[in-house]
Structure 1
Amino acid sequence: MKTHNSTPRAERLVDELTLEEQISLMSGEDFWNVGAIERLGIGALRVTDGPNGARGGGSLNGGTHSAAFPVGIAIGATWNPELVEKVGAAIALETREKGASVLLGPTINIQRGPLNGRNFECYSEDPILTGYLAAAYVTGLQAQGVAATLKHFIANESEIRRTVNSSDVDERTLRELYLVPFEMAIKQANAWAVMTSYNRINGTYAADNKWLISEVLRNDWGFDGLVMSDWFGLRSTKEGAIAGLDLEMPGPALVRGNKLLELVQSGDVPAEMIRAAALNVLRLLERTGDLDNMDERTEIENERDETRSLIREAGVQSAVLLKNVGALPLEGEMKIAVVGPNAKSARVMGGGSAQLNAYRRVSPWDGLVDALGEETLTFAQGCRNDRFEPIIEGTFTRAWFANDALDGEPFKTEEIAALEHFGSAPVEGVDPHNHSSRTTGTWTAPRDGTFRFGFHCTGKGRLFLNDKLMAEAWDSWERGRTLFEEGCDPVTADITVKEGETVDIRFEFATKPNFDLFFHAHQVGVGRVLGMDDIEEAVEVAAAADVAIVCVGRTAEWDTEGWDLPDMTLPGIQNDLVSAVAAKAHKTIVLLQTGGPVEMPWLDQVDAVLECWYPGQEAGYAIADVILGKRSPGGKLPQTFPVKLDDAPTFSGTPQRTYPGEDGRVEYTEKLEIGYRHHSGDGPAPLFPFGFGLSYTTFSLGTPDAELDETGAGSVTLPVTNTGERKGSEVVQLYIAPQTASVDRPAMELKGFAKLALAGGMTDMAKITLSPRDFAYFDVDSQTWKVDAGDYTLRIGTSAADIAHEVTVTIAAQTLHV
């Protein structure tokens, strides 16, 4: 689709709008749309959540089916901008089929530490890797006429109290680390939209931050696109408008509308700022080709074979082989035990606003059955890794009451298939902030055992089993860390039942005032309580096979928006399961699926470890391709894996205010020393370094040739040879280490990389281009980038810790403007 640049038409149209119409374009009409101006034939602007697909207007886990692509950290592990551009183009088609022209993605915040609940959604701990991948994603998306929305701008590296906390970051750190991916995506790919983060930056909310929006984004970088708030993230009428925030989302307006009109009429907000914001909305409509689109927006399902193939390919290229002692790939006839909580559960995506209703969810078991047949496989679950009990499914009746006390006759009664609700208003006509509901039905025990019922909710809740109150958060409700920090922590009750026994369920819910986000939700689940007997069963199954694949990790309940992980330990008793299986199995392969690093106390006991992240809907097929040797694993770590949590930069002797924060402030006291910068300096050695990943073949890096002028402009080339027999890929990484510096600088920083796919015995040239900016630091006093004269070491290798060559270059002093 042809893209559209701004034209005099948009300039003409904005001046044909009344002041009221201009202001109407500065807020959403509803949750996903900015309203049309029918008088002038101006179409509506429709957005959809991303970034690992296009959900459309459905709920977080329902609605129209969509293609689920690998999550951000898996995309980061590919180190492949060319592939990521294809992913962006494919998601653009999905976006259009959901009736939208703006995708809320990519998420390009930096993985500051290992516990951020949204690390899975971000590409990397490194700004250069993130920036190149972000630019590729934006290019692919916008080439199809769909706007990318870079998020979250800026310093949203933790989910704990993210809507109120202040990220206190010095300007140099912002400029050299956290702002870089946004700058690259704007300057290299001309991103059309940016979303501000919820948090404050140095005391000022991002949506109100004039320095951030008007000075850095627009003046320094020349951004001419649209700036929108995160949902309910704009808290002011005047400050946000003055700062240059164009669009308040969602709608209808909470702080704009007539409130903003009054400020313009009183002279407190200049009319020209309203015009500029409305023009930015019109420009975005023009770029997406929707300025004249008055058609009704519909959603369709269209699952493409080529999209499925692309997702599968991306899954293969994201798989990181962390250890392999003669265990992988699996070839020849053998009996394979597939055990663990993630074996038959397809972990294809993370949680929060990135969720969607995937066309399919292929588990590791499904992928291996498809490739080998079920007769060669055995299974045992061993343990669970849920954060919540699985949502109860069946036939239930829910009655809605137009008050918060379950009083009177129901306003509406409906049949539902799962004991959950998520949304702003339950049914039309009920106050979204003052209602209650009663859900009734039955549950039948699938087997003998002890089962745990649990719920969490944004308002008051209580659970009755066989008419007996078993769990309540009604009078005792306290704010916890569920449902985007609007819900209570899980409340549970255990019962022991026989197979086939029926239990009557009644769950009651009532609203209470929200904190920051204006929605209500509840989830009620049940699951069998597993213990050491179940681990012993898994050990027996593993011992009877030739090889055991232990499928462990986390789930979308753990890696999710709205909360941070409590630690780096695998949830539940999964570590016990791995160790027990490794002690008895002939060979043990650990298949990890997580959204970031985990501790591995069993690492020396197992034969192989393969990290597959959340690789999208084709997960099991991509995993089987790698495990069975149809493809070599193509991923490299985009985030350092520390040995233990205390080794991470936000935990190594740092005070409480560094993480998770104190008195409403999170101080980035580590400054530039995150990730591999921390571990490459005086920090502890990591378990697995940034950029690390094994293959089923081997590679050698030939002598590099650095052709740089005295400014640092030029390129570095070197031959790369696949010295094995199998086809595989290697990522050549170039880090720059200043030998002397006038300011504190990290020991080394990634500045370029090249991924090559080579057949056995093949040689090709890797080329990495450098510029003067790659040698510079940001000088806050002069507001320029400065290069110190002197010698710099180019460190070239296959990870931050595996450096094959070092080349010294001499660079002249320079001053570069932003």
Structure 2
Amino acid sequence: MSKDYPSRTPVDIAALLDALTPEEQVSLLAGADFWTTEPVARLGIPKLKVSDGPNGARGAGGLTNGTKAAAFPCAIALGASWNVAAAREMGCELAAETRSKGARVLLAPTVNIHRSGLNGRNFECYSEDPMLTSALAVAYIEGLQAQGVGATIKHFVANDSEIERQTISSDVDERTLREIYLAPFEAAVKKAGVWAVMTGYNRLNGVHMDAHKWAMTEVAREQWGYDGIFMSDWFGTNSTAESINAGHDLEMPGPSRYRGARLLTAMEAGEVAPETVRAACARLLKLFERVGAFESEGPEEEVTRDLPETRALIRRLGAEGAVLLKNDGILPLAGAPSVAAIGPNAAVARIMGGGSAQINAPYRVSPLEGLRAALGADKVATAPGCGNNRLIEVLKGDLKLSFFRGRSFEGAPMHTLSEQEANFFWFDLPVEDFDQDNFSVRIETRFTPAESGTYVAGLVNAGFARAYVDGQEIIDGETGWQKGMNFFGLANDEQRGTVELEAGRSYELRIDYYSPDHPDDGITVRALRFGIEKPTGQAEIDAAVALAGARDVALLFVGRNEEWDSEGHDLPHMDLPGDQGALIEAVAAVNPNTVVVLQTGGPVEMPWLDKVKAVVQFWYPGQEVGHAMADVLLGKVGPGGRLPQSFPVAMKDNGAWTQAAISYPGEGGHVRYDEGVFVGYRFHDSRKVPVLFPFGHGLSYTRFGWSTAQVSSTKMTAAGVTLSLEVTNSGDRAGAEVVQLYVTPAEAPVARPEKELRGFAKLALAPGESGLAEITVTARELAFFDVAKGGWSAPAGRYGLVVASSAEAVQERLEITLAEDWFEPA
């Protein structure tokens, strides 16, 4: 059921399949390298390049040191915008970004559900609600594919945690899967015609996703009509015959581990039918045709797009997703106040989360820079107060890297290059024929501390490493090495050492990295990170408090960063890291005009909430973060966001904790979704568990009036029922309002949530302007998934339509009737 938007030259795929030898067919079904597929030159089948998303299109090289690429807001920030048009606009722009990197498929969007609030990739996902997630994903995909770039919706399915992510089994009943976790994928297939789906690392009810025939073939292909490809997450293929027989098409990356010779052997043994391989090749070639790959000779040279219109869009999207959680009248800031910009995120641009979503942005605007540009440098002073880093601050400067063949740094280096940051992820080694298991790298630089004292150095390595200061070893990153929380859970936990340094003196820093002398079990990662810093303490908090007391307004830029919100590990808690809570309370005690500006990839506990005047949640809004923050704080634009995820009072108020360890984080290789369909606000509503801030919550700088809602019919019709109401901006500032429509169920034979989001409308209105919100609900929106009947079932009866501005702020209740039982097969 895919939509082929661009005009492409038709390709005779059947003829190509006939011409391909069995060996060539098999070669197509696994990557050639990290980002491209295998070509078949004699038949004009080129390499197809893919690029990581979802908040940008990364160029070749490492996570943060490849070709520069525009950094857009992360998915939870887009989710907070509740803006379908913005998602489509972002998709269109990312298509151009993808093509600028020589790629034709973007590995995005991510539509896993905010289940626990602690998922390391929570920031990469839109929402806890499948309807909101689906609406944004469909628009994003339509934007990409309308420009001829293939979307890859991920991670299929129930890949909602990073704990033991390559082996964990998500144990989920079918009704919960259909109503919550599969719903965005179904919408992507049926409404957007998505061209590619990426399977998750996890197992589903005991079966690895790349071999899950029920999910891929029976549900997606046969029931939904999906005609695109299934590709693995990187190194996420776990078998040969089982995988391809289940309907899995493309193993990534290359060179192949489970296809290639293994697949040919399986075919010869009769374990895989030639028709199965041919069908997988046909789907892959169809993707090539859709994205115009046959019209090129392969990936083009990478370039950086840094256009004024891209900058403006990212800045606007950042404000669209900003959620004003609390405001005691202080925001927007009036006049030209003197400002203390305090906190670990004040002078640093936190533009994105960590892991494979990272890109090398062309520039980064910090909050401090944004405020000074808007108010003048003399109006804004700054102090960090404390740190929030999980790892030691990364070393920056002129770094020389020398690459050697072998693990012993012998002979002349085979290659040298310069870098500016000691954070390396070697997807592809700079010497083409280097062996990932037999090379070494020496990193050299000089470091001149600004202050004397005890410095802490930190070393993280996937592979082995040792760090030296003036030739003296300070960290051993080999002895006792074991996997930890870094680089996708495939590097060690940070190893630290201390060293006494004198201000103004230049020291020689050297880090020797060498690969293991054996292949990895599973994913191969070669990476290194080195940092050095003088730790902060009470003196830094005292300095920040003194600054805050001398200024009109104290803006506290706090939260987390890409070291915490990252692929490869879940969060240990929902507290602000480090001394940030103490910093907030100390600053609020001396300045009554204290505003907290939060940057996190999900909810945090706020024991300090009553002591501050305002709180704005800004997520990770991309490279224009500082300008977007200044726009909102100073009232140039209003905060346009609403929470896409419930903020619980405390971590264990979340529904994922219903059965202690087995339901989260899991036990014995299994995580059991005991809460069923009661995810997020559904749990809080139905179990009467209070929240700190409800799903859908967000304040404005203006006021809105809502008319009485009208329905097109009080009885459900074949075309559905449309609810409409007029919203008027009765204030003196422009603003955006989000009308949310929830459905309450009729009596049913299964336990159902108290209410479920079934539609929404976002209206941007000038002062005095009115707009019409129209939301249509069909019989499918009244239904639950009836496992016994194998389809969607809505019993006859009365259903409530709840008109609300959040899951708790109900404005009006209406009622409609479904005259007869309704059923739709899966």
Same fold, TM-score > 0.5, yes or no: yes
Q: Measure how far apart 1:514 and its partner are.
A: 2.7
Structure 2 residue aligned with 1:499, among 500, 503, 508? Answer: 503
Let me know the Cα RMSD of the aligned residues. Answer: 1.7
Partner in structure 2 of residue 745 of structure 1: 752
Contact 1:460 1:509 in 2 (8 A): yes
Contact 2:483 2:493 in 1 (8 A): yes
1:666-689 superposed Cα distances (whole Å, 9 cap, x missing partner): 111111111101111114211000
1:755-780 superposed Cα distances (whole Å, 9 cap, x missing partner): 01112222221100111110111111
TM-score normalised to the size of structure 2?
0.96
Q: Distance in 1 between matches of 2:817 and 2:482?
A: 61
SS of 1:39's equivalent in the other structure is helix
Q: Measure how far apart 1:298 and its partner are.
A: 1.0
The reply to whether residue 609 of structure 1 matches residue 618 of structure 2 is no
Contact 2:467 2:474 in 1 (8 A): yes
Q: Distance in 2 between matches of 1:182 and 1:548?
A: 44
Partner in structure 1 of residue 805 of structure 2: 798
Partner in structure 2 of residue 468 of structure 1: 472
Correspondence list, 1:73-92, <5 A: 73-92=76-95
Structure 2 residue aligned with 1:430, among 431, 434, 438? Answer: 434
Change (3 A) 1:397 1:88: closer
Structure 2 residue aligned with 1:807, among 802, 807, 814? Answer: 814
The reply to whether residue 525 of structure 1 matches residue 531 of structure 2 is yes
Contact 2:78 2:321 in 1 (8 A): yes
Partner in structure 1 of residue 378 of structure 2: 375
Q: Distance in 2 between matches of 1:468 and 1:296?
A: 46
Structure 1 residue aligned with 2:641, among 622, 631, 635? Answer: 635
Q: Distance in 2 between matches of 1:515 and 1:383?
A: 39
TM-score normalised to the size of structure 1?
0.97
Structure 2 residue aligned with 1:414, among 413, 416, 427? Answer: 416
Q: Measure how far apart 1:420 and its partner are.
A: 3.6
Contact 2:592 2:613 in 1 (8 A): no
Q: Distance in 2 between matches of 1:28 and 1:122?
A: 26
Structure 2 residue aligned with 1:660, among 657, 665, 669? Answer: 665
Contact 1:50 1:103 in 2 (8 A): yes
Q: Measure how far apart 1:710 and its partner are.
A: 3.1
Change (3 A) 1:4 1:187: farther
Contact 1:395 1:416 in 2 (8 A): yes
Partner in structure 2 of residue 697 of structure 1: 702
Q: Measure how far apart 1:711 and its partner are.
A: 4.8
Q: Distance in 2 between matches of 1:271 and 1:6?
A: 28
Which residues of structure 1 form unaligned runs of 5+? none
Correspondence list, 1:44-55, <5 A: 44-55=47-58
Structure 1 residue aligned with 2:493, among 485, 489, 494? Answer: 489
Q: Measure how far apart 1:8 and its partner are.
A: 6.8
Contact 1:598 1:641 in 2 (8 A): yes
Contact 1:197 1:229 in 2 (8 A): yes
The reply to whether residue 717 of structure 1 matches residue 720 of structure 2 is no
SS of 2:691's equivalent in the other structure is coil
SS of 2:316's equivalent in the other structure is helix
Contact 1:730 1:757 in 2 (8 A): yes
The reply to whether residue 321 of structure 1 matches residue 328 of structure 2 is no
* Aligned residue type for 1:339: I
Q: Distance in 2 between matches of 1:125 and 1:94?
A: 28
Contact 1:4 1:288 in 2 (8 A): no
Q: Distance in 2 between matches of 1:354 and 1:689?
A: 28
Q: Distance in 2 between matches of 1:438 and 1:96?
A: 34
SS of 2:152's equivalent in the other structure is strand
SS of 2:480's equivalent in the other structure is coil
Change (3 A) 1:474 1:283: same
Q: Measure how far apart 1:463 and its partner are.
A: 2.2
1:422-461 superposed Cα distances (whole Å, 9 cap, x missing partner): 1256433332023334434331112234321101111233
SS of 1:754's equivalent in the other structure is strand
Change (3 A) 1:236 1:292: same
Contact 1:318 1:633 in 2 (8 A): yes
Partner in structure 2 of residue 780 of structure 1: 787
SS of 1:805's equivalent in the other structure is strand
Contact 1:42 1:292 in 2 (8 A): no
SS of 1:551's equivalent in the other structure is strand
Q: Distance in 2 between matches of 1:315 and 1:416?
A: 33
Q: Measure how far apart 1:399 and its partner are.
A: 4.5
SS of 1:687's equivalent in the other structure is strand
Q: Distance in 2 between matches of 1:756 and 1:85?
A: 16
Q: Measure how far apart 1:296 and its partner are.
A: 5.2
Change (3 A) 1:633 1:205: same
SS of 2:313's equivalent in the other structure is helix
Q: Distance in 2 between matches of 1:57 and 1:419?
A: 18
Change (3 A) 1:656 1:635: same
SS of 2:191's equivalent in the other structure is helix
Q: Distance in 2 between matches of 1:165 and 1:496?
A: 44
Q: Measure how far apart 1:492 and its partner are.
A: 1.1
Contact 2:746 2:796 in 1 (8 A): no
Contact 1:282 1:291 in 2 (8 A): no
Change (3 A) 1:8 1:383: closer
Contact 1:315 1:615 in 2 (8 A): yes
Partner in structure 1 of residue 654 of structure 2: 648
Greater CA deviation, 159-168 or 436-445? 436-445
Q: Measure how far apart 1:6 and its partner are.
A: 9.9
Correspondence list, 1:83-162, <5 A: 83-162=86-165
Q: Measure how far apart 1:66 and its partner are.
A: 1.0
Q: Distance in 1 between matches of 2:345 and 2:823?
A: 53
Q: Distance in 2 between matches of 1:6 and 1:413?
A: 43
Q: Distance in 2 between matches of 1:643 and 1:5?
A: 53
Q: Distance in 2 between matches of 1:497 and 1:693?
A: 48
Q: Distance in 2 between matches of 1:118 and 1:655?
A: 21
Contact 1:395 1:415 in 2 (8 A): no
Q: Measure how far apart 1:592 and its partner are.
A: 0.6
Q: Measure how far apart 1:737 and its partner are.
A: 1.1
Contact 1:546 1:586 in 2 (8 A): no
Structure 2 residue aligned with 1:453, among 449, 454, 457? Answer: 457
Correspondence list, 1:262-411, <5 A: 262-295=265-298, 297-404=300-407, 406=408, 408-409=410-411
Partner in structure 1 of residue 556 of structure 2: 550
Q: Measure how far apart 1:69 and its partner are.
A: 0.6
Which residues of structure 2 form unaligned runs of 5+? none
SS of 1:622's equivalent in the other structure is helix
Q: Distance in 2 between matches of 1:221 and 1:743?
A: 24
Change (3 A) 1:745 1:2: closer
Change (3 A) 1:170 1:5: farther
Partner in structure 2 of residue 765 of structure 1: 772
Contact 1:43 1:292 in 2 (8 A): no
Partner in structure 1 of residue 36 of structure 2: 33
Contact 1:454 1:525 in 2 (8 A): yes
SS of 2:42's equivalent in the other structure is helix
Q: Distance in 1 between matches of 2:706 and 2:129?
A: 23
1:638-666 superposed Cα distances (whole Å, 9 cap, x missing partner): 01111111211123x52211111111111
Partner in structure 2 of residue 579 of structure 1: 585
The reply to whether residue 516 of structure 1 matches residue 522 of structure 2 is yes
Change (3 A) 1:681 1:410: farther
Q: Distance in 2 between matches of 1:407 and 1:762?
A: 70
Contact 1:543 1:586 in 2 (8 A): no
Contact 1:56 1:100 in 2 (8 A): no
SS of 1:247's equivalent in the other structure is coil
How many residue pairs were aligned? 816
Q: Distance in 1 between matches of 2:385 and 2:660?
A: 38
Q: Distance in 2 between matches of 1:224 and 1:296?
A: 25
Change (3 A) 1:176 1:35: same
Q: Distance in 1 between matches of 2:511 and 2:501?
A: 20
1:509-556 superposed Cα distances (whole Å, 9 cap, x missing partner): 333353421121111111220011101100111110011100001111
